[in-house]
Amino acid sequence: MTAPASGAILLTTAIEAVPGVKAAHARAFRRLGIPAVAHLLRHLPARHELEAEETTIDQLKPGEIITARGEVTDTRVAGRYGKQRFEAVLIDHTGRLDLVWFNGGFLRKQITPGMRLRVQGRSRQYGANLQIANPIWERIDAAVEEPGRRSRRLRPVYPASEDLPSRTIEQTIEKILDDALALIDDHLPPDFRAERELPELREAYRMIHRPGSDEEVREARRRLVFDELLLLQLGVQMKRAHLRRALEAPPLRWSEQIDKKIRGRLPFTLTKGQEEAIGEIVADLRKPTPATRLIQGDVGSGKTVVALYAMLMAVASQRQAALMAPTELLAEQHFLTITELLHGSDVRLALLTGSMAPPDRESVHRAIEAGDIDIVVGTHALLSESVRFHALGVAVIDEQHRFGVHQRAGLRGKAGVGESGKPLAPHTLVMTATPIPRTLALTVFGDLDVSTIHGLPPGRTPVKTRAVGFDKTDEVYDYVRTRLDAGEQAYVVVPTIEEGAGGLRDVRSTVKRLEEGAFAGKRVAGLHGQLKRATREQIMGRFRAGLIDALVATTVIEVGVDVPNASVMVIEHAERFGLAQLHQLRGRVGRGSKKSLCVLIGEAKTSDAEARMKAVASTSDGFKLAEKDLELRGPGEMLGSKQSGLAPFRVAEFPRDIDLLLMARRDAAKWIERSPALEAPEETLLRKRLLKEHGETLGLADVA
Ligand code: ADP
Ligand code: MG
């Protein structure tokens, strides 16, 4: 097949019109998401394989992957219809090689005697001759053949499908590549590229599809990854710059007196990590632009008081504050904590959850609207249309990974209109206890500033973690019993509430089993999300007061529950929980001065499950685990692309491409500062590509 005349191919040329693409293949291309030439070009190899070294036929050894070339002297179709195999004999000046393709009857029209082929595959001894079954093959054009060429080629391996092998994709791309490359314009200015030692876009595509060396593959990837990350960061920063221009926030007051008063409420000295975060937050809240800051810290690092500090700053400025938690249990817990800390002050608090009786809920709504409530703690019930704040100054969202960006926006729009007539937005703080690797947070929450609380409050003893099989269950509970006898308390986490689901341990029967067995004579209670709020509160209250020895629960206790005397945790069916989840659960113990223990009971059925359990047992550092999680699952899954609202990456891979991400972020920030809407003539192409890629997901329509 010869290349089409230059100019015949456009980036918009439909796949059907690409020379050599048959109708069936065209359909398969479309199913792979490749309707036109541009998509072919962007269909990047998953990896590259170094071809086996080419040798003469007499040098080939059975059992090895080999590459050889020669002339076809004979072909035949054998076997019955439907199961036909195609056989060919290939010879060079040193010997003979047999080729066989099973189900290869269709090849009879493509491979004919006299033709020269280059073949590749694993050879085997078959009768007197060497044979390759189902070799990869290509026809060598005698005129093009370089007789002396024996160099090994890096061959792209493309994401393929059953009806469209990588080989076919490779051949198709090869056909359009030169024409298509000529049509590519670079959206990055030459000096910008030169400074960062990035190859030209055209050259990058050439090198990824038709690399001359490993080095070229690396260089090409570097450019394409950078492009992907830069476009995303530009989009995110553009949006952010727009929000800053369009929205106003109430600047909050701060003075040493206010600071002293707030600190006076805290029963402990803040850690260095907390101080740093508070410093950053205070600076944010004093500005008339809405803060959007992610506060991340490991489980138990003390995020709540940091949030409380911000909320009290709002109150000191005659503004309201809201704290939104992902579950009722957590909202209740926060409400309780804050109520205790503010005991005796004149700050007016309210709790708002979906399970409250309608009249109670409505009276809270009215109080919020009238400005009779200073701080409201609640669940997503806070997002309801009927919640209208009198003057919302600070919105805190706990456990970000459970809320999507849209919900963040929901609270954002609840502060009324400012004096200038611009919509007034509250300052927003987002707390997450699933430490998101810093770099990933930058990408996905690129519109947020990030404060990280390093370190834990003093007096914590690290939690010892053990992973054991189900056969050790009795032993584990016998040991836990001795700890209960010593006056400590324990959590037992099981995956389900009721018996049934696939023989998994459940809350009800586990309570019974323990009460009657290992924990006989101890006070055991069950806790799960189907209980009424009042019951749940009562049980948590009793557990906190030491009136319950062992609490058997589902993952409702995953976040926020804070009982320092509880020092032992058993997680049954640990293999069924995610890495972050196990770490969260474990974070419920190790909150006091007692030596804490976490036992993971389970039998890993997959290597991933095993890797998760091992990772959790090996470190108690949430940030290290998050990196591990990222490796095991990839960023899309880790955050859920639904939550992040962003498509998974096409080329970039984490943690591998972290340096490029940081570079892209820095560059994007500078760029948008200089040119907020990318409106310069030389930015036209960049802007077009940005809008095409992220315009919709980031809602840039009204920005750019
Ligand atoms: P998380 O970051 O997991 O939300 P919390 O805010 O629930 O952590 O805090 C965990 C526990 O540590 C709480 O009991 C809290 O009162 C306590 N705590 C927070 N900050 C400090 C501190 N600086 N010194 C001692 N204890 C602290
Ligand atoms: Mg918390």
Instruction: Report CA(37)–ligand 2 centroid distance (Å).
Output: 50
Instruction: Verify whether ligand 1 is closer than 6 Å to residue 303 (CB atom).
Output: yes
- The reported pLDDT for the residue numbered 510 is 95
| Residue 380 to residue 397: CA distance in whole angstroms | 10
| Residue 373 to residue 389: CA distance in whole angstroms | 9
| Residue 225 to residue 229: CA distance in whole angstroms | 6
Orientation of helix 607-618 relative to helix 579-586, angle to 10°: 30
Asked if 560 and 325 count as a contact pair (C-beta separation under 8 A), the reply is yes
**Superfamily of domain covering 463-619:** P-loop containing nucleotide triphosphate hydrolases (3.40.50.300)
Instruction: Report CA(300)–ligand 1 centroid distance (Å).
Output: 6
- The reported pLDDT for the residue numbered 181 is 95
Q: Whose CA is nearest to atom 23 of ligand 1?
A: 270
Question: For the segment 228-251, what is each residue's pLDDT rounded down to a tens digit?
Answer: 999 988 988 888 788 778 888 899
Instruction: Verify whether ligand 1 is closer than 6 Å to residue 299 (CB atom).
Output: yes
- The reported pLDDT for the residue numbered 148 is 45
Instruction: Report CA(261)–ligand 1 centroid distance (Å).
Output: 19
256-453 and 463-619 agree in CATH topology = yes
Instruction: Report CA(588)–ligand 1 centroid distance (Å).
Output: 12
> Hey, what are 361's tokens?
């809920």
Asked if 438 and 452 count as a contact pair (C-beta separation under 8 A), the reply is yes
> Hey, what are 305's tokens?
């008081």
Q: Which of 270, 304, 563, 567 to mutate to test the pocket of ligand 1 (most atoms within 8 A of CB)?
A: 304
Nearest to 464 by CA among 298, 609, 595: 595
Instruction: Verify whether ligand 1 is closer than 6 Å to residue 434 (CB atom).
Output: no
| Residue 601 to residue 477: CA distance in whole angstroms | 11
Q: Is the dihedral of CA 261, 267, 272, 277 positive or negative?
A: negative
Q: What radius of gyration, in Å, describes the C-alpha atoms of the chain?
A: 32
The dihedral over CA atoms of 289, 292, 293, 299, expressed in degrees to the nearest 10, equals 140
Of all ligands present, the nearest one to the C-alpha of 325 is 2
Helix (H, G, I), strand (E, B) or coil at 391: coil
Residue ranges of the chain with per-residue pLDDT less than 50: 1-6, 147-150, 402-407, 638-647
What pTM, to 2 d.p., does this model score?
0.65
Instruction: Verify whether ligand 1 is closer than 6 Å to residue 270 (CB atom).
Output: yes
> Hey, what are 480's tokens?
């836990």
Instruction: Verify whether ligand 1 is closer than 6 Å to residue 317 (CB atom).
Output: no
Instruction: Verify whether ligand 1 is closer than 6 Å to residue 396 (CB atom).
Output: no
Asked if 286 and 254 count as a contact pair (C-beta separation under 8 A), the reply is yes
- The reported pLDDT for the residue numbered 414 is 61
Please name the residue that has the structure tokens 């170094």.
Answer: 50
> Hey, what are 536's tokens?
């749940």
Phi, psi of 531 (to 5 degrees): -75, 155
Angle at 386 between CA 380 and CA 388, to 5 degrees: 90
* Beta pairing partners, 67: 54, 120
Instruction: Verify whether ligand 1 is closer than 6 Å to residue 457 (CB atom).
Output: yes
Instruction: Verify whether ligand 1 is closer than 6 Å to residue 599 (CB atom).
Output: no
Instruction: Report CA(125)–ligand 2 centroid distance (Å).
Output: 66
Helix (H, G, I), strand (E, B) or coil at 2: coil
| Residue 398 to residue 561: CA distance in whole angstroms | 13
- The reported pLDDT for the residue numbered 662 is 83
Instruction: Verify whether ligand 1 is closer than 6 Å to residue 268 (CB atom).
Output: yes
Provide the CATH topology of domain 256-453: Rossmann fold (3.40.50)
Cis peptide before 426 (omega within 30 of 0): no
Q: Whose CA is nearest to atom 3 of ligand 1?
A: 300
Question: For the segment 318-343, what is each residue's pLDDT rounded down to a tens digit?
Answer: 999 999 988 888 898 899 999 999 99
> Hey, what are 413's tokens?
């729009």
Of all ligands present, the nearest one to the C-alpha of 297 is 1
Q: Whose CA is nearest to atom 5 of ligand 1?
A: 302
Strands 292-297 and 427-432: parallel
| Residue 474 to residue 454: CA distance in whole angstroms | 38
Nearest atom within ligand 1 for CA of residue 564:
14
CA distances (Å), origin 663, targets 316, 442, 657, 659: 40, 12, 10, 6
- The reported pLDDT for the residue numbered 282 is 97
| Residue 377 to residue 328: CA distance in whole angstroms | 10
- The reported pLDDT for the residue numbered 509 is 92
Contacts of 638 (CB under 8 A, 6+ apart): 436, 440, 580, 629, 630
Asked if 461 and 594 count as a contact pair (C-beta separation under 8 A), the reply is yes
Classify burial at 5, counting beta carbons within 10 Å of its beta carbon; exposed 0-12, middle 13-18, buried 19 or more: exposed
Nearest to 526 by CA among 516, 215, 515, 291: 515
Domain ranges across the chain? 53-151, 256-453, 463-619
Q: Whose CA is nearest to atom 18 of ligand 1?
A: 302
Instruction: Verify whether ligand 1 is closer than 6 Å to residue 455 (CB atom).
Output: no
Of all ligands present, the nearest one to the C-alpha of 562 is 1
Orientation of helix 579-586 relative to helix 622-639, angle to 10°: 140
Report whether CATH 2.30.110.10 matches the domain 53-151. no
| Residue 161 to residue 138: CA distance in whole angstroms | 20
Asked if 119 and 67 count as a contact pair (C-beta separation under 8 A), the reply is yes
As separate numbers, helices (DSSP H) first and strands (DSSP E) second, the chain gives 22, 21
Nearest atom within ligand 1 for CA of residue 303:
2
Q: Whose CA is nearest to atom 1 of ligand 1?
A: 300
- The reported pLDDT for the residue numbered 6 is 47
Instruction: Report CA(306)–ligand 1 centroid distance (Å).
Output: 9
Sequence-ordered strand ranges (E) for 42-93: 47-50, 65-78, 85-92
